[in-house]
Amino acid sequence: MSRPHMLRGIGVSPGVAWAPALVVRLDFPDVPDRTVGAEEVPGEIRRLQAAVRVVVGHLTKLGQRALERAGPEESRIFDAQILMAQDADFLASVEQLIRNNQLSAETAYEFKALELRQLFSGSGSAQLRDRLADLHAIQMRMLHRLMGRKEEELWSIPAGEQVIVVAHELAPGLTVQLDREHVVGLISEEGTNTSHAAILAHSLGIPAVMGLSGALDEIRSGTVLLLDGQSGAVVLEPTRAELEDARVRVSRRQRFEMQLEGVLQEPAATPDGVVITLMGNVDLPDEIDAAVSHGAEGVGLLRTEFLVTGRATMPTEDEQTGYFQRVAHAFGGHPVVIRSYDLGGDKFPAAFKAPAEANPFLGWRSIRVCLDRPELFRAQLRAVLRAAHGRNIQLMLPLVTRVEEVVRAREMLAEEAAALQAAGVRAADTVPVGVMIETPAAVVIADLLARESAFFSVGTNDLTQYTMAVDRGNARLAARFTPMHPSIVRQLRTIRECGAAAGLPVSVCGEMASDPLGAVLLLGLGYRRLSVAPPAIPLVKWVIRNVPEAAARDAAERALAATDAAGVVAALREGIGGHVDLRMVSPP
């Protein structure tokens, strides 16, 4: 049977690369079942503790390397791994197994590690499964250490060669150690664009494709690969013509990047005079400067989960206030929309004990956690009010499915404002409270939610997931996860019309707004505020400045009549093809 010429996965870090493959197999060692004498038990426990210290030391060095090569927020990935490696409950269970069953340290650790891996892999949470790579890396290091093997023996990158690394799963520890001059691309069978390895690859500028099922069955070390980190396509043994085409694409992209630099300080206005407010999504502090430098007119989505994840304690009210003030100061008088904690499943801090759930995305998360844990929510509300004194700050509530959730949140905000005033603390009297529309339930009752809301913002990621019943982190279902499905397009029209009827501003802050075709669709549907990832601002602005609103409106009308996602995409491509180079905005 002949091998396929092309494979397709999820493009997680843009760029085109070609080089021989280097297949890296980071497998768990074969741990023998070994018992020890009662007198050896204390020594086995000391061996376990010593291994933890060595692994934590190695992770600390990797964090420092990430800080130097990628930035401060990327280095926090290893802070989270260190917390996992030092997890007191897990290590106590391993020690107990050593004592009770007189097992060797590696045997006991491997037994408990298997239990934890099964728990992670069986989770309904996409993000928790993405963290499985982190867990694998920690446990692999521990087992190799306990069995007397050195870290550098686990894998080897040939010096002086350029390769594309292919693995079943890429851990951040491997990714951050790769030399960008010699490793020009990454491929893994597991992982999505939210995995830590994907985040690091993007920060390091390494083109990467993940979720490429069957890669290890089809690719051998030495196989020449052509990788497109935007479309997710991987060509095996490309022809001379395909390689030449790739070189042309790289050259064309470099020239296009120069064009994008020219629009940074220009307004986001269509050729026929329709002005779009183009804001930035800020997930991590290092994205603040990027959003400002790319000309973002404020922040349409300020995520607050980074204040929580990877920490052993909850952030203080003062800490939150200072961060919100910092962001508002960076954007002058432009609005900053703070999303209240979107905690749930995998995003609980170490100090916040939450019950295990079979399906966290349908469980205790977001506004539900905030209302059920008022001490956590009230501290954030006070921080928002304090930061909003003299600043243009707004509050957005995620995963709202009931009107009473908005009513109760506003009541609590008013109570905290009164308490701050009574205490003589400088704070705003109130802030505008909006709703993140990201469930079909919120779409259906949007007219009712509008009565209690100052604005709407559409989260297309979860709206797509909940509407299509597709786990957005499942690589096998990646082709089915698309906001271009007619059911999503029709809901987007409903939301915009409902907001307009109530006189509310309506924006889109999901990943759809960062996609050029998605931005054109939203423009055609009547949206006038988009909030996008900072790196996407120049491209989206360039598209807006080149596509007339009338053309976008006509394309959106044809998209609304389409019967499937392919039809929606075709309608949009046809509608704007005469105004922009489709090769730059929408790979076929």
The reported pLDDT for the residue numbered 25 is 75
Tokens of 286: 């290092």
| DSSP three-state, residue 570 | helix
The reported pLDDT for the residue numbered 262 is 81
| DSSP three-state, residue 472 | coil
List b or e across 72-110, with b for residues whose CB sees 16 or more CB atoms inside 10 angstroms.
ebbbbbbebbbbbbbeeebbebbbebbeeebbbbbbbbb
Per-residue model confidence as pLDDT tens digits over 258-277: 888 888 888 999 999 999 99
pLDDT tier at 11, thresholds 50, 70, 90: confident
Q: What's the per-residue H, E or C state across 94-153?
A: HHHHHHHHCECHHHHHHHHHHHHHHHHHCCCCHHHHHCHHHHHHHHHHHHHHHCCCCHHH
CB atoms within 10 A of CB 488: 23
Find, among 295, 290, 286, 340, the residue nearest to 457 by Cα. Answer: 340
Per the prediction, the chain carries an average pLDDT of: 85
On the question of pLDDT at 47 being above 50, the answer is yes
Dist. CA 172–CA 76, nearest whole Å: 11
pLDDT tier at 144, thresholds 50, 70, 90: confident
46 near 104, Cβ under 8 Å? no
Tokens of 365: 């998360």
Tokens of 541: 């602005």
pLDDT tier at 153, thresholds 50, 70, 90: very low
List b or e across 472-482, with b for residues whose CB sees 16 or more CB atoms inside 10 angstroms.
bbebeebeebb
**Of 423 and 309, which is predicted with more confidence?**
423
Dist. CA 464–CA 471, nearest whole Å: 9
**Residues 6 or more apart whose Cβ sits within 8 Å of residue 336:** 298, 299, 302, 324, 327, 328, 391, 392, 393, 394
Q: What is each CA distance from 519 to 255, 289, 575, 585, in whole angstroms? A: 22, 23, 13, 11
Domains of the chain: 6-26+155-237 (3.50.30.10), 38-153 (1.10.274.10), 303-430 (3.20.20.60), 432-526+548-579 (3.20.20.60)
Per-residue model confidence as pLDDT tens digits over 443-477: 999 999 999 999 999 999 889 989 998 776 666 66
Indicate the angle between helix axes 41-69 and 132-146, nearest 10 degrees. Answer: 130
Find, among 115, 245, 202, 183, the residue nearest to 535 by Cα. Answer: 202
Indicate the angle between helix axes 88-101 and 41-69, nearest 10 degrees. Answer: 150
Dist. CA 85–CA 79, nearest whole Å: 10
pLDDT tier at 150, thresholds 50, 70, 90: low
Find, among 28, 141, 145, the residue nearest to 85 by Cα. Answer: 141
Radius of gyration, alpha carbons of the chain: 25
pLDDT tier at 95, thresholds 50, 70, 90: very high
Amino acid type, 428: A
- What mean pLDDT comes out for the span 275-285? 90
Dist. CA 35–CA 50, nearest whole Å: 19
Q: What is each CA distance from 234 to 15, 189, 201, 260, 522, in whole angstroms? A: 12, 12, 17, 27, 31
The reported pLDDT for the residue numbered 346 is 47
CA 176 to chain centre: 18
**Residues 6 or more apart whose Cβ sits within 8 Å of residue 223:** 20, 21, 236, 237
The reported pLDDT for the residue numbered 27 is 66
Per-residue model confidence as pLDDT tens digits over 342-397: 877 545 554 455 666 666 677 777 889 899 989 989 999 999 999 999 999 999 99
Say which range, 51-60, 233-242, 489-498, 517-526, has the weakest mean pLDDT.
Answer: 51-60
On the question of pLDDT at 138 being above 90, the answer is no
Strand partners, 13: 208
Sign of the C-alpha dihedral, residues 49, 55, 56, 57?
positive
Find, among 399, 391, 393, the residue nearest to 381 by Cα. Answer: 393
433-437 and 224-228 beta bridge pairing: unpaired
CB atoms within 10 A of CB 536: 20
Say which range, 34-38, 51-55, 504-508, 532-536, has the weakest mean pLDDT.
Answer: 532-536
Q: What is each CA distance from 452 to 186, 337, 365, in whole angstroms? A: 47, 17, 21
**Of 218 and 584, which is predicted with more confidence?**
218
pLDDT tier at 587, thresholds 50, 70, 90: low
Catalytic residues: 196, 509
On the question of pLDDT at 124 being above 50, the answer is no
- What mean pLDDT comes out for the span 229-239? 90
CB atoms within 10 A of CB 253: 15
Amino acid type, 301: L
**Residues 6 or more apart whose Cβ sits within 8 Å of residue 398:** 339, 340, 342, 366, 367, 436, 438, 459
Dist. CA 339–CA 19, nearest whole Å: 43
Find, among 462, 461, 466, the residue nearest to 513 by Cα. Answer: 461
First to last CA, the chain: 28
Backbone φ and ψ for 23, nearest 5 degrees, come out as -80, 120
